[in-house]
């Protein structure tokens, strides 16, 4: 029964682009590996990484010669490396960081099937690559999780006590809380960030749009409130789920955050003191220890913030959760991506242009 539930939940929760937006190409003369559709760049490497769950994921490493930090980026649930490629290159340039982005199992040209537990193994493999292949130190690494990518990001951050920082971009409290306004955590929930965020010891920046129609703004706000080391959050007024990179404040605030966390602890004391309360760092544990098992479940947007918060709706949802009898057909009809790539073709083109246009990003971020 558990296996069937997990399989159905994975189908509802993950939306890898079909077909993938790229192929992995090896040039015969030089042996250089690159993504199709993109010219070879001297500072970009394309890799295949084995995971502890037997899959092989595709990753890309963008090197910046003046970088003092390395960003490990976990993208949303409806994108792949081909769609994120230009954004990753631009972030590396403007933030002056090395950047490793990767595709989850079952995404792009990564093997296997997407699931919560596989994404935990995927990010571990990506982090291991940074340490083993590029000599990155834990205290130099910044984990960046967007939307559903906040799940593997928070999970790994909770097990690495010496990270430089964490960025949560339109994060979720948990998968079930995207669908329902629940008061407690259920065993079948996925990506239980609400239960893990307090275990993260490093500075955390939360970015969220106030008009997010997919993951309500309250998710980002609550996670920020629960952080041990809160950094000044970025609440983008009018920002939705897929357009935050297009706000000038986005790159400016990220730059400020990275500059701050790259300073020595004594230099960072001013903003540390402004946080509510800080506890001593917990002892380091092996970050490869198994994550708590959880049955994958569809992350489905609530149709209305007001309705989901009403007393009648809460009571109704509680009864439904206790019985846990959700119709697969009904959920299938309302399936919708957390990252909006499954909307209209016009909207896909709009997001794609925003991410792929280097000149446009340069103009916005230089503003």
Indicate if the pLDDT at residue 355 is higher than 50: no
Catalytic residue among 103, 122, 189, 212: 212
Taking all residues of the chain, what is their mean pLDDT, rounded to a whole number?
80
If one compares 264 and 70, the residue with the highest pLDDT of the two is 70
Domain ranges of the chain: 2-366
- 33-45 average pLDDT score: 96
Indicate if the pLDDT at residue 181 is higher than 50: yes
Residue 347 annotated in active site: no
Residue 306 annotated in active site: no
- 4-12 average pLDDT score: 49
Catalytic residue among 74, 241, 308, 339: 241
Catalytic residue among 21, 105, 147, 291: 147
C-alpha distances in Å from residue 130, one per residue of 38, 47, 169, 276, 286: 23, 11, 22, 33, 16
Tell me which H or E stretch contains 34.
strand 33-35
Residue 107: what pLDDT? 98
State what percent of residues in the chain have pLDDT above 90. 64
Confidence band (pLDDT; 50, 70, 90) for 174? very high
Residue 183: what pLDDT? 86
Please, which residues bridge with residue 178 across strands?
A: none
C-alpha distances in Å from residue 357, one per residue of 16, 36, 117, 221, 272: 22, 17, 34, 31, 37
Q: Could you read off the pLDDT of 108-156 as tens digits, one per residue?
A: 999 999 999 999 999 999 999 999 999 999 999 999 999 999 999 999 9
Q: Which fold has domain 2-366?
A: Rossmann fold (3.40.50)
For the ranges 26-35, 82-91, 302-311, the lowest mean pLDDT is seen at 302-311
Q: Could you read off the pLDDT of 221-249 as tens digits, one per residue?
A: 999 999 999 999 999 999 999 999 999 99
Residue 319 annotated in active site: no
Residue 266: what pLDDT? 59
CA pair distance 219, 237, nearest whole angstrom? 15
Indicate if the pLDDT at residue 297 is higher than 50: no
């Amino acid at each position: 029964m558990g296996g069937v539930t997990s399989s159905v939940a994975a189908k509802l929760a993950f939306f890898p682009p079909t077909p993938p937006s790229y192929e992995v190409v090896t040039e015969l003369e030089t042996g250089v590996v690159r993504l199709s559709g993109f010219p070879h760049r001297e500072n970009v490497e394309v890799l295949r990484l084995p995971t502890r769950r037997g899959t092989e994921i595709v990753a890309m490493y963008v090197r910046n010669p003046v970088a003092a930090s390395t960003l490990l980026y976990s993208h949303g649930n409806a994108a792949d490396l081909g769609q994120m490629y230009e954004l990753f290159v631009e972030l590396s340039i403007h933030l002056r960081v090395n950047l490793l982005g990767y595709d989850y199992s079952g995404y792009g040209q990564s093997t296997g099937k997407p699931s919560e537990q596989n994404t935990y193994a995927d990010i571990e493999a990506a982090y291991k690559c940074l340490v083993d292949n590029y000599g990155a130190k834990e205290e130099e690494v910044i984990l960046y999780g967007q939307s559903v990518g906040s799940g593997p990001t928070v999970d790994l951050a909770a097990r690495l006590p010496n990270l430089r920082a964490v960025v949560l971009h339109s994060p979720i409290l948990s998968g079930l809380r995207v669908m329902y306004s629940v008061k407690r955590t259920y065993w079948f929930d996925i990506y239980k960030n609400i239960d893990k965020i307090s275990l993260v010891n490093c500075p955390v920046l939360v970015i969220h749009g106030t008009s997010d129609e997919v993951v309500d703004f309250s998710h980002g706000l609550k996670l920020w409130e629960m952080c041990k080391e809160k950094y000044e959050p970025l609440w983008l007024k009018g920002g939705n789920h897929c357009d935050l990179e297009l706000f000038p404040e986005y790159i400016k605030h990220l730059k400020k955050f990275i500059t701050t966390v790259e300073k020595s602890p004594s230099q960072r004391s001013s903003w540390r003191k402004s946080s509510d309360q800080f506890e001593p760092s917990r002892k380091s544990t092996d970050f490869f220890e198994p994550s708590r098992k959880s049955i994958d479940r569809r992350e489905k947007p609530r149709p209305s913030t007001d309705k989901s918060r009403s007393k009648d709706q809460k009571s109704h949802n509680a009864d439904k959760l206790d019985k846990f009898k959700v119709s697969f057909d009904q959920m299938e009809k309302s399936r919708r991506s957390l990252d909006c790539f499954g909307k209209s073709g016009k909207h896909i083109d709009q997001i794609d242009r925003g991410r792929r246009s280097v000149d446009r990003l340069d103009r916005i971020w230089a503003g």
